[in-house]
Amino acid sequence: MSDTATTPSTVTFDQFGLHADILKAIAEQGYTTPTPIQAKAIPVVLGGRDVMGAAQTGTGKTAGFSLPIIQRLLPLANTSASPARHPVRALILTPTRELADQVAANVQSYAKHTALRSAVVFGGVDMNPQSAELRRGVEILIATPGRLLDHVQQKTANLGQVQMLVLDEADRMLDMGFLPDLQRILNLLPSERQTLLFSATFSPEIKKLASTYLRNPQTIEVARSNSTATNVTQIVFEVAEGDKTGAVVQLIRERSLKQVIVFCNSKIGASRLARQLERDGVVATAIHGDRTQSERMQALDAFKRGEIEALVATDVAARGLDIAELPAVINFDLPFNAEDYVHRIGRTGRAGASGDALSLFSPNERKQLADIEKLIKRPLEVQRLAVDTPVRHHHDERGSRRDRDDRGSRRRTTGAHERPSHGAHHRQQPIDDFFLKPYEPSPSAVSASAKREEAPAAPQKPASKQPLAALLGGFGMPRKTTSST
């Protein structure tokens, strides 16, 4: 089934037949009416059918699959302390640690009034606390593929009773090379299960994966594939490559952006840009794969609390980050993969709010821009941006050192009479004639020098005729003789 209809305004969560404990949690989250993907997916998932769900990022896919999963597992919920009574019955796989943590937070919020247990496992942190939680038993497990296989190998996770599997952002998992891990995990699951595949884009590889592991899935699309949200204003600013840092500072200041995610294509570029923004008065930090998981989580928490103005990120943060009312994102670099553009700008304009997607475009990025426009099937508005924000270009530290060395060499080779004047108001210091006269030794210095020349030379000490080995205790020293008896 392909559905592009919008959700009728009369549809409410009460009409899905959800348990009162779930509805109570939904109300506490401030949800009133379901989004289009939720309205279309929840009834199908509750019916037990496999689903391929396509929707733009920020439209509520997480609730679209987690709410019916909790509803279906409620009859098996119990308060027993025995881990055997709490096997893993629902498995949710995500490509990144940040997305796994975000999904786990949502699942915990939706199920907090029930007896169902949930846990999240991902790499970059100590396995022991995760292992201890898994041994106590959980019904809903959210995981990244690599860390899940680690727990399977350590026998702390048993997937033999999984009834429902969710592949969230499956296209991203394939892009990150998780296909071998996915196949290993899928082979560990019971063949009789419900499989849900949700993503913002459907590539040919995803369709092939779905045809292999999903049984007669129902396809739900609430928007045209690879389209961008209509409530996000997209503007491309053409600037020189060397003016991009100044352009970011200028956009942040002119638009009074207190929260913005700035995307870079490389980890080194993200770290460098964060340092440059800090030097130019913007509170910024970087988040990328080279930072530890604790550092990444601390940066995200600080950004969500509003303590950081600019979160400079690679595409590791393009999926699953749910920042409430994020006003804008900035593409410092246009992504090499056009689909990443859709996910990047999906960080703003979430849940029906408006947002701005601002992209910086240099002449050497024409191919990326053409690929993006081809993917989203629409031209992007390109504007010229005159960068007038004074920005110190710290990115070329080697050039700065060369400039300092050149200035220093010029100072060393410039005489006192060649020094430039610092202004007419500086009066010239008087010159003492004593320093202009040639050097003449004093009479006392002449007599002392003559006495040193007339003094007889001191006799030199004769050199030792003993060889060096003798001096060091070797040959040539008299040996002690012993008498024979």
* Cα(304)–Cα(320) distance, integer angstroms: 14
CA-based radius of gyration for the chain: 36
pLDDT at 69: 97
Indicate the class that CATH gives domain 232-384. Answer: alpha beta
What are 198's two structure tokens?
Answer: 């949700």
User: b/e per residue, 42-62, with b = 16+ CB within 10 A?
Assistant: bebbbeebbbbbbbbbbbbbb
Q: Give the Cβ contact number of residue 118 at 10 Å.
A: 24
pLDDT at 470: 53
pLDDT at 321: 67
What is the helix (H) or strand (E) element at residue 262, kind and residue range? Answer: strand 260-263
* Low-confidence stretches of the chain (pLDDT beneath 50): 1-9, 391, 393-431, 435, 446, 453, 481-485
- Residues in the chain, overall count: 485
pLDDT at 416: 37
Domain edges within the chain: 13-221, 232-384
pLDDT at 456: 53
Beta carbons of 298 and 231 less than 8 angstroms apart: no
Superfamily of domain 13-221: P-loop containing nucleotide triphosphate hydrolases (3.40.50.300)
Residue 262 phi, psi (nearest 5): -110, 120
- For the stretch 400-442, pLDDT in tens is 444 444 444 444 444 433 344 444 444 444 445 554 555 555 5
pTM over 0.85: no
- For the stretch 93-131, pLDDT in tens is 998 888 898 899 999 999 999 999 999 999 888 999 999
Q: Is 324 exposed, middle or buried (0-12, 13-18, 19+ CB in 10 A)?
A: exposed
Domain 13-221 identical in fold to domain 232-384: yes
